[in-house]
């Protein structure tokens, strides 16, 4: 099945559409009676002065999330092929994103991290464009805006600010104006938010927005046992992907090498930012789905033993569907 997506035939999009529903069939059949959807942080709730948390039925919630994942998969695939990150065009990034974003049931519903992945794709496109840009101060300003917008939706996204600066270090010679443009872009959004606070006579609460960023890192995380079972094939594929990347790393163009370095930095920062939320939620790790999907795509696109990679992928898909029907 994987071999179908190694080509760049547009007809493959139909197979992607089928697969995105197949990987969510168990949750669509056994949709919970009530699902909450919060797409802005409490401090930016003034910008959305209506009650929306339970406006969608649970089934439509999951259905809309499925549609968003499909759109994100196509956008991600277009970006990866545009920058030639995998050395040849295919629909493998889209396949891997659809798969990774279905790993756990919290991933299958509408959530702030899922919405933020649109911003992550936009952010990555602009970050990868820094390498060949000559005058990029406007791009840097846009990057600050994107991170700020993501922060209004999901506060842990604020830590992606570090990723932007890491990208500038990786792709650009030092220019303080570019760094300043990022800061100004970020500050612009929060300046207008401060105006809203002032208009609503709440300016005294504005400084408390970033307090969670300074919280203590948790010493333990509670995760269901079945989650660890699903992580076994994920870990195997990740190890194989890293090994495959290492084999061709120094044979790749400089831009591709730098791009994968950036993806590693993003994965680490986004993954560790979960502590900002006082209550741990597994759907936070949707923010890590994009770099993982690109890395997995590299392995499945360049692997040579067909029976092995096909079997490995089928085991992962079988595990995803099985645990949707059996949550224990």
User: Does residue 328 carry a pLDDT above 60?
Assistant: no
Residue 206 CA to residue 43 CA, distance in Å, equals 8
Residue 228 CA to residue 200 CA, distance in Å, equals 46
Q: Collect all residues with Cβ–Cβ distance below 8 Å to 209 and sequence separation of at least 6.
A: 43, 155, 190
- pLDDT mean over 117-126: 96
Residue 207 CA to residue 34 CA, distance in Å, equals 34
Secondary structure of the chain in the HEC alphabet?
CHHHHHCCCCCHHHHHHHHHHHCCHHHHHCCCCCCCCCCCCHHHHHHCCCCCCCCCCHHHHHHHHHHHHHHHHHHHHHHHHHCCCCCCCCCHHHHHHHHHCCCCHHHHCCCHHHHHHHHHHHHHHHHHHCCCCCCCHHHHHHHHHHHHHHHHHCHHHHHHHHHHHHHHHHHCCCCHHHHHHHHHHHHHHHHHHHHHHHHCCCHHHHHHHHHHHHCCCCCCCCCCHHHHHHHHHHHHHHHHHHHHHHHHHHHCCHHHHHHHHHHHHHHHHHHHHHHHCCCCCHHHHHHHHHHHHHHHHHHHHHCCCHHHHHHHHHHHHHHHHHHHHCCC
pLDDT band at residue 169 using 50, 70 and 90 as cut-offs: very high
Of residues 79 and 42, more confidently modeled:
79
- The confidence score (pLDDT) of residue 225 equals 62
- The confidence score (pLDDT) of residue 174 equals 87
CA pseudo-torsion sign 60, 290, 232, 310: positive
Residue whose entry in the numeric block shows the structure tokens 């406007």: 138
pLDDT tens across 39-75, in order? 788 788 778 776 767 667 888 889 999 999 999 999 9
pLDDT tens across 257-271, in order? 899 999 999 999 999
Q: Which domain holds residue 301?
A: 2-325
Q: Tell me how many domains the chain contains.
A: 1
Query: Average per-residue pLDDT in the chain?
Result: 87
User: Does residue 219 carry a pLDDT above 60?
Assistant: no
- pLDDT mean over 218-240: 75
- The confidence score (pLDDT) of residue 218 equals 62
- 308: left (phi > 0), else alpha (psi -120 to 50), else beta? alpha
Of residues 223 and 93, more confidently modeled:
93
């Amino acid at each position: 099945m994987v071999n179908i997506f190694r080509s760049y035939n547009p007809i493959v999009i139909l197979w992607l559409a089928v697969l995105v529903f197949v990987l969510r069939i168990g949750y669509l059949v056994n949709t919970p009676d009530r699902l909450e959807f919060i797409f802005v942080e409490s401090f930016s709730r003034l910008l959305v002065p209506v009650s929306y948390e339970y406006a969608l039925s649970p089934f439509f919630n999951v259905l809309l999330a499925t549609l968003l994942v499909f759109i994100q998969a196509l956008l991600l695939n277009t970006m990866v092929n545009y920058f030639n990150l995998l050395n040849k065009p295919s629909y493998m990034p889209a396949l891997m994103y659809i798969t990774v974003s279905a790993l756990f049931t919290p991933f299958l519903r509408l959530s702030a991290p899922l919405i933020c992945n649109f911003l992550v794709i936009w952010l990555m496109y602009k970050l990868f464009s820094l390498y060949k840009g000559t005058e990029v101060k406007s791009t840097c300003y846009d990057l600050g805006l994107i991170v700020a917008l993501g922060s209004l939706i999901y506060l842990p996204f604020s830590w992606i600010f570090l990723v932007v600066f890491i990208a500038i270090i990786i792709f650009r010679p030092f220019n303080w104006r570019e760094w300043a443009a990022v800061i100004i872009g970020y500050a612009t959004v929060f300046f207008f938010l401060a105006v809203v606070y002032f208009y609503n006579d709440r300016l005294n609460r504005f400084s408390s927005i970033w307090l969670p960023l300074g919280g203590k890192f948790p010493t333990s995380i509670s995760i269901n046992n079945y989650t660890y079972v699903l992580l076994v094939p994920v870990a195997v594929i990740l190890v194989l992907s890293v090994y495959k990347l290492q084999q061709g790393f120094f044979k790749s163009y400089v831009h591709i090498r730098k791009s994968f370095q950036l993806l590693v930095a993003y994965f680490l920062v986004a993954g560790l930012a979960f502590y900002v939320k006082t209550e741990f939620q597994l759907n936070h790790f949707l923010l890590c789905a994009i770099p993982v999907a690109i890395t997995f795509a590299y392995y499945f696109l360049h692997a040579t033993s067909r029976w092995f990679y096909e079997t490995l992928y089928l085991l992962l898909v079988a595990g995803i569907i099985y645990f949707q029907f059996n949550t224990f």
